[in-house]
Amino acid sequence: MPIAHPHGGVSPLYLGRCFDGDRLPQAAVTDAGGMGFDYIAVPLNVHDADAVDSMLSIEAKVCQSSLVGRITSVSQLQPQLSWARYLSTYGVCLPSLAQMETEADLANYAAMLKREVVTTATPSQQWQKVPSGMWAQWNALRSLLNHPLSLTIALSLSQDLGPCPDRWLGEPVRVVIISSDLLTGAGTIGTPAHQRLLVALMQRKAQVLLQPAADDLAGPLKAAVSALYHKMPSPSGYEKYCEPYYDILQQPLQPLKVSGSSSNQFSVDSAAMQAWLVLPG
């Protein structure tokens, strides 16, 4: 079950956990359920007979609602993606952009995504894994793909947040991946900058996917994220009113030309209204 906010008014938090190839998928489902995780992410090891048999033993409804397939490398994109489609997994986490070392690598990867992902129907959510310090590479990739709406981001928080972390607030971040490397001795997540970014993304309904280096770190990592979530203030009435417009681009005076909720929002935004009133002419 997702974590509910104590004060209400905040979207519930869905927490998942990454497992490596040393844990068979069926065992991972059992372990994650016992710790209260909502979904898991496991490698799509199509060449490991034991992993394939274990995956096939998972109920179809569990695959469709709680299992994310991780594509481990660009070279395995096509077979592992086909395997995920066969299983109808809840989501597919694509190879990290950290694997693209040159512009040519990125261009070749974009061509593969266009052929195998963007132009092919799939029931699964498609998450592109992007380290938090690689906004420029993400921007280049989506430009090469002509800004596909079907491709969202699995943002992997790292020590390097890049020169402008707030850029991620304008991107389609579906999931935030948090590794145990960011767990501090005080039981918190990274630096205050990491925490501010994580809170802002959770406020925008991003899910969280934990990636502990060992089983004994899963609990503390989950507790740190839960504590940060519980400290989030409930949104004000104004913030609730603004929420539907976070991802909408409008011309500066467009709200005055149309009727409905958009113009209503403009009228209650005192700063915008005052700016309009002082415009010349």
Q: Looking at the domain assignment, is residue 96 inside a domain?
A: yes
Q: Looking at the domain assignment, is residue 147 inside a domain?
A: yes
213, pLDDT greater than 90: no
Q: Note the pLDDT tens digit of each residue in 116-165.
A: 888 776 667 889 999 999 999 999 999 999 888 888 999 999 988 888 88
Residue 209: the pLDDT is 94
d(CA 14, CA 33): 13
| Structural domains of the chain, count | 1
Winning range, highest mean pLDDT, from 9-18, 103-112, 243-252, 262-271: 103-112
Residue 23: the pLDDT is 77
- Six-digit token pair at 78? 């096509």
What CATH code is carried by the domain that includes residue 189?
Answer: 3.20.20.150
21 vs 201, residue with greater confidence: 201
Q: Contact, 207 vs 14, CB < 8 A?
A: yes
Query: Closest by alpha carbon to 37, among 21, 57, 18?
Result: 18
Q: Looking at the domain assignment, is residue 272 inside a domain?
A: no
**What are the backbone angles phi and psi of residue 49, rounded to the nearest 5°?**
-60, -40
Q: Which amino acid belongs to residue 112?
A: M
Q: Contact, 58 vs 26, CB < 8 A?
A: yes
Compute CA distances 258 → 27, 241, 272, 281, whole Å: 55, 18, 16, 20
Q: Looking at the domain assignment, is residue 216 inside a domain?
A: yes
Q: Looking at the domain assignment, is residue 51 inside a domain?
A: yes
Name the band, by pLDDT with cuts 50, 70 and 90, for residue 270: low
* Residue 187 burial (10 A CB sphere; 0-12, 13-18, 19+): exposed
- Report the 3 state secondary structure along 19-75: CCCCCCHHHHHHHHHHCCCCEEEEECCCCCHHHHHHHHCCCHHHHHHHEEEECCCHH
- Six-digit token pair at 278? 């002082």
Residue-range definition of the domain harbouring residue 195: 15-233
pTM of model > 0.85: no
Q: Looking at the domain assignment, is residue 220 inside a domain?
A: yes
229, pLDDT greater than 60: yes
Q: Looking at the domain assignment, is residue 259 inside a domain?
A: no
Compute CA distances 41 → 91, 187, 210, 215, whole Å: 9, 24, 9, 15
36-50, 92-106, 115-129, 180-194: which range is least confident on average? Answer: 115-129
Q: Looking at the domain assignment, is residue 219 inside a domain?
A: yes
